[in-house]
Structure 1
Amino acid sequence: MSPTPSAKPTKPPAPLQPLKGVRVLSLALNLPGPAALMRCHQMGARCVKLEPPAQPGTPAGTSGDPMGQYNPKAYAALHEGVRTGVADLKTDKGQKSLHRELAKADVLLTSFRPSALVKLGLSWQALHRQYPQLNQVAIVGSLGARAEEPGHDLTYLAEMDLVTGLELPPTLYADMGGSLMASEAVLQAVMHQRSKAKGVYLEVALSGAAGYLALPRVWGLTKPGSAIGGGHAGYRVYACKDGRVALAALEPHFAASLCAAAGVEMSSMQAMFAPATQQAIAAFLLTQTRKQLDQLAIAQDIPLHTLSN
């Protein structure tokens, strides 16, 4: 029901802060760890990040996190509200800085290979012995025997058959999916800590994040010819008169509205899989501008989004 003209807009609800009062210490660099820390901050956590010193020869004030060097804008967005400091963990001074923060932290977030953690004295056994209530969320490339293998977002996506052709994926799916899993793991660890009064070690694999994102493909939901793999005439990307349109008229009532607007007979849902239906809808969309299609979407309640070429 639409509000009356005199009704005042209601304020959006205040965001929940399930991590309010929780201290998260991060040593994780690049994208997945900082993105997870950003999410923790948004959920109310007090976030601290220790970074290595910048490489010799870099300008003064340069972050030791590579992200701060190759994309300062992204780095700034990821670290808004995060207290950052510098600590060379290979030195006694850096170790002292680290342990001062560990003594106050509820969760340690890392993204090193397991062997690197051991060299830095940060194996779970050592940490749990010294800080029994501390949780650790370790972001790794892969689990188990493959944890030492080098990898990156692109290789994890390729492994899960999510790289097609020679084009790079439009975003860093495994990194961002892994960051969400890591922030979820922080929540799980804090809940465990509160119920058991002791810390827990959780691993999040970026390859596992890619695998999770790939499940619709594994299940066949997006295979060529399937309903959301190009087989359904109402769920495709088409050309229009001055650009493109991403059409998502999948459910029967949306498909019926689309066919009515296009002047296409829809005797049954199976008709939406007929090549003739696709051709007729494609021909109709070529007669429409983006503006006309945007207006059609509102008037006929059709889910679509127009795009430039």
Structure 2
Amino acid sequence: MGQHQSCTVYKSRTWRRVAGALEGLTVLDLSSHLSGPYCAMLLADHGADVIKIERPGRGDEARAMPPFVEGESAPFMVWNRNKRSVTLDLKSDDGRRALLGLVRSADILVENFRPGTLDRLGLGWSALSALNPRLIYGAISGFGQSGPWRDRGGFDLVTQGMSGLMSVCGPADGPPHRLPIALSDVAAGMHLAVGILAALEARHRTGQGQYVEVSLLDAAISFGVYEAAHVFATGEKPPRIGQAHRGSSPYQVFGTADGWITVGAAQQNFWEALCRILDAPELRNDPRFRANRDRVAHNAELVELLQERFREYPSQHWLDAFDLAGIPAGQVLDFAEALAHPQVVAREMVVEAEHATAGRVRTLGIPAKLSATPGSVRRAAPALGEHTHAVLDSLGEVA
């Protein structure tokens, strides 16, 4: 995000002001860390006015996450853009009164406290829906609002482990591997956003809001589509298979003379094209590799043979040949390379915004491209309490 990093930024459409699809909706974001704020960011990106409610003095815990740009947390700025920040002490009468004032005209509320926390403050679903029957109340928790683990705290680390994801990641032999990206958090935020949008559509028909909840564990479980199929079909736990794919071959990472590439040639026409590129009719005619199911069963032998060939030439040699043949393939990039890739730049997945204290900062773009009501990055993440006076003055409250 800082200006010291090397990354091309595409700017043109980012600054063209077009009404977003969710313009006119007000979202109260009471969440912290990543899962809830990510959900609220998605809504903000598409035009909703997201008011982030934070504790006075400290704010969201993510504000303390390194690295920093001019004293501001770079991670916090990535997933809190397009929001306004208001500081309220929800344990005080004045803070609760101000929040209730905001709830009266809000469309959506997002929170990720432990189940029951806001109920004890008189700010849970039953109280707020009575005040505003049109309110859509979105909640994320570690394990959900029901079940024997309801009251336990949960983080991405814990739910990755419990979901089975860690058991199938990493080399075939060795300890469980945590994916170093926050899959449970981001997936929970996405699922909650989908649920909220579904509830909005239902509100168009009924006029009534509803309660939407997602757990980190449920979100992590939802990733195991192949692994669940394996369990359902065989009754056995899926083995760890390293870089291989459970249902497709060849479909994995290969080393070249100068780096690494991914090759997706499991589809029969791609497999046959790959054999032609390698001038290897013996592979195409080998009964072990004749059809995809055969290649999956003998993937280890096939990979060993292919790897010998791929090491003979640099990555670009293979990528050019695969491109001509229509075989899906790509170079394995690090994050700095990925963010500077021409395709990523052309798709506006790196954009800029002006931060109140950090200055011009970079952030990620918006993946969903709407033709008539495109999303936009209109403002950088807010400084703590930056909009408290403006928002509360509009209610007639004293900040």
Q: Which residue number corresponds to residue 255 of structure 2?
A: 239
1:203 and 2:221 matched: no
Once residues 210 and 234 of structure 1 are traced to their aligned partners in structure 2, the CA distance between those partners, rounded to angstroms, is 26
Q: Which residue number corresponds to residue 212 of structure 1?
A: 222
State which of 167, 179, 184 in structure 2 corresponds to 1:169.
179
- Taking structure 2 as the reference length, what is the TM-score of the superposition? 0.67
Once residues 230 and 181 of structure 1 are traced to their aligned partners in structure 2, the CA distance between those partners, rounded to angstroms, is 25
Instruction: Give, in angstroms, the shift of residue 232 of structure 1.
Output: 5.0
1:272 and 2:267 matched: no
For residues 228-280 of structure 1, the C-alpha deviation after alignment (integer angstroms, 9 at most, x for no partner) is 62675421222211222221112111111111112222133256344553332
Q: Which residue number corresponds to residue 83 of structure 1?
A: 84
Q: Is the 8 A contact 1:136 1:201 kept in 2?
A: yes
Q: Which amino acid aligns with 1:285?
A: F
- Identical pairs, percent: 23
Instruction: Give, in angstroms, the shift of residue 133 of structure 1.
Output: 1.6
Q: Is the 8 A contact 1:114 1:147 kept in 2?
A: yes
Q: Which amino acid aligns with 1:298?
A: D
Q: Is the 8 A contact 1:259 1:281 kept in 2?
A: no
Instruction: Give, in angstroms, the shift of residue 181 of structure 1.
Output: 0.6
SS at match of 2:245: helix
1:35-46 matches, cutoff 5 A = 35-46=38-49
Gaps of 5+ in 1: 1-10, 56-63
Label 1:280 to 1:207 Cα distance change in 2 as closer, same or farther (>3 A).
same
Instruction: Give, in angstroms, the shift of residue 115 of structure 1.
Output: 2.0
Once residues 246 and 219 of structure 1 are traced to their aligned partners in structure 2, the CA distance between those partners, rounded to angstroms, is 24
Q: Which residue number corresponds to residue 156 of structure 2?
A: 153
Q: Which residue number corresponds to residue 5 of structure 1?
A: none
Once residues 162 and 211 of structure 2 are traced to their aligned partners in structure 1, the CA distance between those partners, rounded to angstroms, is 26
Higher relative CO (Cα under 8 Å, sequence separation at least 6) belongs to 2
For residues 69-112 of structure 1, the C-alpha deviation after alignment (integer angstroms, 9 at most, x for no partner) is 11411211222211111011001121122112111201111111
SS at match of 1:109: strand
Label 1:211 to 1:233 Cα distance change in 2 as closer, same or farther (>3 A).
closer
For residues 187-233 of structure 1, the C-alpha deviation after alignment (integer angstroms, 9 at most, x for no partner) is 02212222111221111111110111112211129856799626754
SS at match of 2:118: helix
For residues 140-195 of structure 1, the C-alpha deviation after alignment (integer angstroms, 9 at most, x for no partner) is 11120322111111111111111143543131111000010111121022122221
Once residues 212 and 16 of structure 1 are traced to their aligned partners in structure 2, the CA distance between those partners, rounded to angstroms, is 33
Once residues 109 and 248 of structure 2 are traced to their aligned partners in structure 1, the CA distance between those partners, rounded to angstroms, is 47
Q: Tell me how large the CA RMSD over aligned residues is.
A: 2.7
Q: Is the 8 A contact 1:28 1:112 kept in 2?
A: yes
Label 1:29 to 1:194 Cα distance change in 2 as closer, same or farther (>3 A).
same
Q: Which residue number corresponds to residue 316 of structure 2?
A: 291
